């Protein structure tokens, strides 16, 4: 220990206690500089300060075990205003970074760090702008390598696979039967400019339906074993045949039926062979020229034969060039006639 310190404070218990009180009060020893002590020395000094000169622990002079002072009534602590504490906490949290930033501005590293921060922000802004400028906002649809146009599309509003699913579902609903596509519908996300020519969703679906190559499970109408009409589904074919019987029988469907052998079969058919209901009805009900052989009977004449089969006399003679118009017809003579008769006809059911 310092000699000057020993000269000023002789080593006694009282002098040690005085030095401890001096240290606690913040005053320096006469040497002019504080004395550094270890934790062990501080603990020993505290233990010495708690003992009297005889070495016995001191009792608390303020504590009287025999006659303890009356305890003052406890005062209920005021209720804490947690809202005020929260706002104070936020204020400290906000003021601390602000104070640190003010102190950092006074350092020599502030210009360099500021330039780096500005450069990083410029790079991040450029990346965001590049992402926005190149982000897809439309779909370009291809079928068999041919583009059908560009359709506006917002990410999250329309899945590229939804376009194919929606188109096939609408086709099946419209035709009333299963649809088997032969081409792939490819929807490629792309970036369309503000002035780019685009189409709506419904227009794109219509374009796909027209360009798509597909087969359907169609209903084919056979008359006497010959295929005459093709409709998308069997229900539509049956309704059309019933309506033809109704027209021919003037509303008595139960009393009439087709004279010919009519049947419906389901056949996988290309979309180009499908007919509309009005088109199939026209084929089945429009009269057509049919070549037949008529056997001359008693009382027949060329004029009566032509009238009975809906032909003109000139046309009958043109079909039968071997017949002499001035000669008398003989019975059992074979004459070719070409009447106009429809494919379907009805007769009363016995």
Backbone angle region of 55, left / alpha / beta, with phi > 0 → left and psi within -120 to 50 → alpha = left
Phi/psi at 336 (5° precision): -85, 130
Q: How confident is the model at residue 6 (pLDDT cuts 50, 70, 90)?
A: very low
Between CA 14 and CA 18 the distance in angstroms is 6
Q: What would the two tokens of residue 46 be?
A: 């505290």
pLDDT, residue 300, reads 86
The percent of residues in the chain predicted with pLDDT above 70, rounded, is 71
- pLDDT of residue 75 exceeding 50: yes
- pLDDT of residue 52 exceeding 60: no
Q: pLDDT by residue (tens digit) across 160-199?
A: 678 888 899 999 999 999 999 998 888 888 888 778 888 8
Between CA 324 and CA 154 the distance in angstroms is 82
Between CA 133 and CA 127 the distance in angstroms is 10
pLDDT, residue 172, reads 92
Map out the domains of the chain with their CATH numbers.
3-49 (no CATH), 138-212 (no CATH), 217-286 (no CATH), 289-344 (3.10.350.10)
Contact status, residue 229 vs residue 238, Cβ threshold 8 Å: no
The percent of residues in the chain predicted with pLDDT above 90, rounded, is 21
Q: What would the two tokens of residue 238 be?
A: 């049956």
15 compared with 250, residue with greater pLDDT: 250
- pLDDT of residue 129 exceeding 90: no
Backbone angle region of 92, left / alpha / beta, with phi > 0 → left and psi within -120 to 50 → alpha = alpha
Q: What mean pLDDT, rounded, does the chain reach? A: 78
Phi/psi at 204 (5° precision): -65, -40
Contact status, residue 221 vs residue 237, Cβ threshold 8 Å: yes
Between CA 214 and CA 174 the distance in angstroms is 14
Between CA 307 and CA 324 the distance in angstroms is 18
Q: How confident is the model at residue 233 (pLDDT cuts 50, 70, 90)?
A: very high
Q: pLDDT by residue (tens digit) across 298-322?
A: 888 888 888 888 888 888 888 888 8
Interval 266-294 mean pLDDT:
88
- pLDDT of residue 11 exceeding 50: no
Phi/psi at 195 (5° precision): -100, 10
pLDDT, residue 20, reads 66
Contact status, residue 148 vs residue 141, Cβ threshold 8 Å: yes
């Amino acid at each position: 220990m310092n000699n000057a310190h020993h000269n000023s404070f002789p080593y006694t218990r009282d002098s040690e206690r005085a030095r401890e009180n001096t240290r606690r009060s913040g005053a320096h020893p006469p040497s002019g500089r504080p004395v550094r002590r270890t934790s062990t020395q501080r603990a020993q000094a505290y233990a010495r300060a708690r003992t009297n000169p005889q070495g016995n622990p001191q009792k608390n002079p303020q504590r009287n075990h025999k006659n303890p002072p009356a305890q003052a009534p406890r005062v209920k602590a005021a209720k804490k205003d947690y809202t005020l504490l929260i706002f104070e906490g936020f204020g400290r949290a906000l003021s601390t970074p602000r104070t640190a930033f003010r102190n950092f501005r006074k350092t020599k590293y502030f210009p360099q760090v500021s330039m780096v921060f500005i450069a990083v922000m410029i790079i991040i802004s450029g990346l965001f702008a590049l992402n926005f400028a190149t982000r897809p906002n439309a779909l370009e649809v291809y079928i068999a390598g041919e583009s059908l146009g560009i359709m506006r599309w917002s990410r999250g509003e329309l899945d590229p696979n939804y376009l194919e699913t929606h188109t096939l579902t609408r086709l099946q609903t419209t035709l009333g039967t299963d649809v088997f596509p032969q081409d792939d519908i490819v929807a490629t996300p792309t970036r369309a400019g503000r002035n780019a020519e685009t189409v709506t969703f419904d227009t794109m679906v219509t374009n796909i339906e027209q360009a798509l190559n597909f087969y359907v499970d169609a209903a084919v109408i056979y008359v006497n074993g010959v295929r005459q009409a093709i409709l998308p589904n069997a229900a539509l074919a049956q309704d059309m045949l019933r309506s033809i019987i109704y027209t021919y029988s003037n509303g008595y469907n139960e009393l009439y039926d087709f004279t010919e052998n009519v049947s419906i079969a389901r056949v996988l058919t290309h979309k180009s062979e499908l007919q509309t209901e009005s088109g199939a009805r026209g084929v089945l009900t429009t009269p057509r020229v049919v070549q037949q052989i008529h056997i001359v009977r008693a009382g027949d004449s060329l004029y009566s034969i032509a009238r009975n089969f809906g032909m003109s006399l000139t046309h009958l003679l043109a079909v039968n060039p071997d017949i002499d118009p001035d000669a008398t017809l003989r019975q059992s003579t074979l004459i070719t006639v070409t009447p106009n008769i429809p494919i379907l006809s009805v007769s009363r059911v016995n």
